[in-house]
Amino acid sequence: MIRMETSNGNDTIMDMFEKGKVLKICAPMVRYSKLAFRSLVRKYDCDICFSPMIVASDFMRSVKARDSEFTTNESDRPLIVQFAAPDAQTLADAACVVAPFSDGVDLNCGCPQRWAMSAGFGACLINKPELVKDMVRHVRNQVDNPNYTASIKIRIHKDLRQTVDLCQKAESAGVSWITVHGRTAEERHQPVNYDAIKTIKDSVSIPVIANGDIKHLRDVESTYQLTGVDGVMAARGLLTNPAMFSGYEDTPLECIWDWVDIAIEQGTQFTCFHHHLIYMLERVSSQPERKVFNSLTSTSAVIDYLQNTYGTVHDLGA
C-alpha cells in the first residue's frame, strides 16, 4: 500500500469539523462497512467512513488477519479504523500499522455483545475511564502524524454523571472527538436519549457525534437541533438506503446499480454482495419479490433479476 493524503486534499478530519456543517458519517458495522460499501456511500454525500470493528490483538498477531480485516484504496478517505482492544499498547501498536493508510483510529467502547465485554473491550470500557485515558494517550504519543485522530465511540450510563466524567477524562487525555450512541449497554430498541447526547456535547469542547436511529436525511437536521452535535453517524439507515445522506427516501435504482458495479469491480464475495442488496430492496419490494430475490444463489441470477424487475439505470434516462 502507498501512503495517502485525505481525499479532501490537505484537509484533516479536524479541519472538516471546523467548517461548521454537520458531518455525515457511516458507522462501523461488522461484515458490512467494508471497502466496497464505503465506496458506495461516499458517492452519496457521506463525509467520513468507519471500518468494521477489528479486534486489535488478532490484527497484530497475523498477516492473514490484517489482509482480510483491512483493505482500502486511494479514494477510500477520510477513513477511521475502529479497533476493539483491552489495553493501551495493543491499541497503539495497531494504530501505528494502519496510520499510513487512514485518517484516525477509534476505540470501541460501545459494543454491548457478551463476547466483547468478557474479553475486556467494547462497552465494559465505559466503566474504566482511567484505562480509556491511557489508551488515547498511547495512540497520541506513538503515531507520529500530529493530524491523525484518536477518537472513542461510547454508550451512555444510567447515571449520566459517569458518562460526562468519562468524556471529560478522555478529553483531558487528548481524544480528538467522541461518538455517543444514545442508549445504555443494556438497551437495544429503546428510543435514543437525545438529552443525554446534548448534556455530553455541552460538557466538552471537542466535537461530538450522535449515533442511533438515523434513518433519513431529515433525522440529521432534527438530531442537530435537539443536541447541537457536530455530526451524525448512521448504521442500519445506510444499509437500508446507502443514498440516504443525499436525501433519497428509499434506495434509488441508480444506487443499486452503482453497488453492482462496485461489488463486481472489487471482487466482493457473493454472500456480502447479496446481503447488501437484500437490505437495499427491503423497503422498495413486496414480500413475494423478496422471497424470490433472497433465494438467488449467483451474481448473474441477481443481475438478471434486477434487470427484469427494476430495469437498468438507462431505462430511467439517466
- Binding residue per annotation — 236? yes
Maximum C-alpha span of the chain: 58
- Binding residue per annotation — 216? no
Compute φ and ψ for 175, nearest 5 degrees: -65, 140
Active-site residue flag, 111? yes
Q: Between the CA of residue 210 and those of 148, 179, 197, what are the distances in Å?
A: 21, 6, 7
Residue 135: partners with Cβ closer than 8 Å, 6 or more residues away = 85, 87, 88, 91, 92, 107
What SS3 class is residue 151? strand
What SS3 class is residue 251? coil
- Binding residue per annotation — 188? no
User: Of 111, 124, 167, 255, which one is the catalytic site residue?
Assistant: 111
- Binding residue per annotation — 269? no
Q: Verify cis geometry, omega within 30 degrees of 0, for the bond prior to 129.
A: no
Instruction: Give the three cell numbers for residue 148.
Output: 491523525
Burial of 107 (0-12, 13-18, 19+ CB in 10 A): buried
- Binding residue per annotation — 181? yes
- Binding residue per annotation — 225? no
- Binding residue per annotation — 30? yes
Separation of alpha carbons 150 and 135, rounded Å: 9
Report, as residue numbers or ranges, the catalytic residues: 111
User: Annotated binding site: which residue ranges?
Assistant: 28-30, 82, 181, 235-236
Q: Residues comprising the binding site for FMN?
A: 28-30, 82, 181, 235-236
